[in-house]
Amino acid sequence: MTDLPAYLRPFVLGVLDGPDVRVDRLGEIDLYRPPGTARGGAILFVHGGPGPAGLEVMPREWPVYKGYATAAARRGLVAAVVDHSLIHGLDRLVAAADEVEAAVGVLRSDPRVDPDRVGLWFFSGAGLLAGEWLDSRPDWLRFVALTYPLLATPPGVDDLVTAAEVIGKHKDLPVLLTRAGLEREELAGPVAEFVSAGGAALDIIDVPKGHHGFDMLDHTEESRAAVTKALDWAIAHLGEEPGDDGKLLVPPPATKKTTSTRRTTSAAKPAAVAKGASAGPATRQTPPAAPKATPAPSVAPSAAPSAVPSTAPSAASVQAPLADLGMATVAAVTADTPAARVISREHAAFDAHDLEAFLAMYSPTARILLADGTELKGRRFLREHYRPRFDAGRCKTEVVQRLMLGEWVVEHVVSYDDGGPTPQLGLYRVVDGLITDVEFRA
């Protein structure tokens, strides 16, 4: 076994092949399905990187990830392992973030998966991808787990949201850290900062004699116990119901036009730290469900000044990504939609000058096309663009009319950000509870 590259050594629980688990390959994703036909929770296992020189076997073929996924499937979950670009180098971090998000979409759309009960499990270098999810906390995300993670972006690498900056932002999101006692020095420091920042928002399983990669390098009872506890923790959190009605708490939409500057506050529930050293499993106290937060009424971010009619655009004027919208079929509606609720929450955060709450409504790879043709892609670029406006307190926009169709919301707004009033159209697309595309039209 010692002659094998580290990544090809056996999983500490064994490679659990067997006829009771079916594995389907969909592009870069392997789906592990349990016996039976029941719909249930799911875990996406996200490998680290970069890989060693001369890598010939991609991570979804490594015994460690096959082992984790098979173990989860044998316990009734759908598990997925995705090959992503981080294995080829840290300069592919942004591409990897896109690929992981796409894999989440594939997993949640599987007929065997309850799309509202999904967890993300990051290993090693993939810890750099976790901050975006800790920051955004989509409603379906039941937990984030990190195993011997890399949490500090090396110099010269495009920076995403750092996990230590946002841990605890959403106190109803369970987070598990499995840390190796013999971790590399350059990784151990940022992990210690993450633990210090996490406080009661973080559950911990310690492996005192474990190395980085202990789940394939250290075949000990301590390692096996740590992996088993982590799986137990994940399965338990995929089964819990965070609200009385079994749904995550979503504030109601705005009901009238206004330019109020009230701040949106998300009710959170406290959590107890689980000192998950090898003596026992990680645990979390279950507090009562928090009351729903009520956002401020609708406002919207502004684009370049221009005049605009107060009706929806014609089909001829619509360009990508709206070509498939079928604008001729859009009618003014008064019924609420999930997409409209997300947009109302984004508007409330904008109105309250709460930049992080505003960004949390966006996909990590969201695209915004401003009226002057400027394109922003990714939450970090949105932060850079909007921070001066939020810091200056120049976030004031009035919604005149709203049209809704499925995942689209089209608004006629008047912006006062730059001294206004400036009329414009805002066109929003919401997928899986997060804004993925926005266009402002003059």
Write the pLDDT tens digit of every residue in 283-307: 333 333 434 343 333 333 333 333 3
One domain, residues 235 and 326? no
Q: CATH number of the domain that 233 lies in? A: 3.40.50.1820
Confidence at residue 393, expressed as pLDDT on a 0 to 100 scale:
83
Of 240, 256, 271, which one is at a domain's C-terminal end? 240
Identify whether 298 is part of a domain: no
Does the pTM surpass 0.85? The reply is no
* Residue percentage of the chain with pLDDT more than 90: 43
One domain, residues 61 and 208? yes
Confidence at residue 317, expressed as pLDDT on a 0 to 100 scale:
36
Phi and psi, residue 399, nearest 5°? -90, 120
* Residue percentage of the chain with pLDDT more than 70: 76
Confidence at residue 204, expressed as pLDDT on a 0 to 100 scale:
94
Task: Look up residue 312 and give its two tokens.
Answer: 């929806």
Identify whether 278 is part of a domain: no
Of 240, 260, 278, which one is at a domain's C-terminal end? 240
Identify whether 362 is part of a domain: yes
Whether pLDDT at 264 is above 90: no
Identify whether 108 is part of a domain: yes
Q: Which helix (H) or strand (E) segment is 355 a member of?
A: helix 355-359
Q: CATH number of the domain that 354 lies in? A: 3.10.450.50
Number of structural domains the chain divides into: 2
Whether pLDDT at 186 is above 70: yes
Considering the chain, what is the average pLDDT of its residues?
A: 77
* DSSP conformation class of 201: G
Q: Please tell me the distance from the alpha carbon of residue 271 to that of residue 399, in angstroms, as a whole number.
A: 38
Question: In a 10 Å sphere around its CB, with 0-12 CB exposed, 13-18 middle and 19+ buried, how is residue 123 labelled?
Answer: buried
One domain, residues 36 and 176? yes
Confidence at residue 192, expressed as pLDDT on a 0 to 100 scale:
93
Whether pLDDT at 166 is above 80: yes
What are the start-end ranges of the H helices in 115-168?
127-136, 163-166
Confidence at residue 289, expressed as pLDDT on a 0 to 100 scale:
40
- Average pLDDT in the 39-46 region? 95
Q: Under 8 Å CB-to-CB from 367, ≥6 apart: which residues?
A: 321, 375, 376, 377, 436, 437, 438
Task: Look up residue 396 and give its two tokens.
Answer: 């004031």
Select the more confidently predicted residue: 418 or 367: 367
* pLDDT confidence bin for 372, thresholds 50/70/90: confident
One domain, residues 63 and 193? yes
Confidence at residue 345, expressed as pLDDT on a 0 to 100 scale:
85
Whether pLDDT at 376 is above 80: yes
Identify whether 75 is part of a domain: yes
Whether pLDDT at 323 is above 80: no
Length of the chain: 442
One domain, residues 218 and 322? no
Confidence at residue 18, expressed as pLDDT on a 0 to 100 scale:
63
Identify whether 248 is part of a domain: no
Q: Under 8 Å CB-to-CB from 323, ≥6 apart: which residues?
A: none
* pLDDT confidence bin for 333, thresholds 50/70/90: very low
Min mean pLDDT across 225-229, 248-252, 278-282, 425-429 is at: 248-252
One domain, residues 224 and 356? no
CA angle 205/208/214 to nearest 5° reads 80
Q: Which helix (H) or strand (E) segment is 440 a member of?
A: strand 434-441
Reported in sequence order, the residue ranges of 279-370 that DSSP labels E, i.e. its strands, are: 362-369
Q: How far from the centroid of its chain's Cα atoms is residue 141's Cα?
A: 7
Range of the domain at 152: 6-240
Confidence at residue 16, expressed as pLDDT on a 0 to 100 scale:
64
Query: What is each CA distance from 360 to 78, 194, 195, 266, in whole angstroms?
Result: 27, 20, 22, 12
Confidence at residue 122, expressed as pLDDT on a 0 to 100 scale:
98
Highest mean pLDDT: which range of 96-105, 250-259, 328-337: 96-105
One domain, residues 26 and 165? yes
Identify whether 284 is part of a domain: no
Confidence at residue 418, expressed as pLDDT on a 0 to 100 scale:
64
One domain, residues 236 and 320? no
Of 240, 275, 300, which one is at a domain's C-terminal end? 240
Sign, Cα dihedral of 34, 68, 242, 266: negative
Is the CB of residue 82 less than 8 Å from the CB of residue 103?
yes
Identify whether 414 is part of a domain: yes
One domain, residues 327 and 235? no
Q: How far apart are the first and last CA of the chain?
A: 65
Is the CB of residue 21 less than 8 Å from the CB of residue 32?
yes
- In the numeric block, the tokens 């608004």 are attached to 411
Closest CA to 45 of 10, 3, 5, 79: 79
- In the numeric block, the tokens 């759908």 are attached to 78
One domain, residues 222 and 369? no
- Average pLDDT in the 326-348 region? 66
Confidence at residue 417, expressed as pLDDT on a 0 to 100 scale:
67
Question: In a 10 Å sphere around its CB, with 0-12 CB exposed, 13-18 middle and 19+ buried, how is residue 56 labelled?
Answer: exposed
Whether pLDDT at 277 is above 60: no
Whether pLDDT at 56 is above 90: no
CB atoms within 10 A of CB 112: 17
Q: Please tell me the distance from the alpha carbon of residue 222 to that of residue 229, in angstroms, as a whole number.
A: 11
Whether pLDDT at 50 is above 50: yes
One domain, residues 219 and 332? no
One domain, residues 103 and 206? yes
Question: In a 10 Å sphere around its CB, with 0-12 CB exposed, 13-18 middle and 19+ buried, how is residue 425 labelled?
Answer: buried
Write the pLDDT tens digit of every residue in 114-142: 999 999 999 999 999 999 999 989 999 99
- Average pLDDT in the 31-53 region? 91
Phi and psi, residue 57, nearest 5°? -120, 120
Question: In a 10 Å sphere around its CB, with 0-12 CB exposed, 13-18 middle and 19+ buried, how is residue 127 labelled?
Answer: buried
Q: Which helix (H) or strand (E) segment is 117 a member of?
A: strand 113-123
Whether pLDDT at 261 is above 70: no
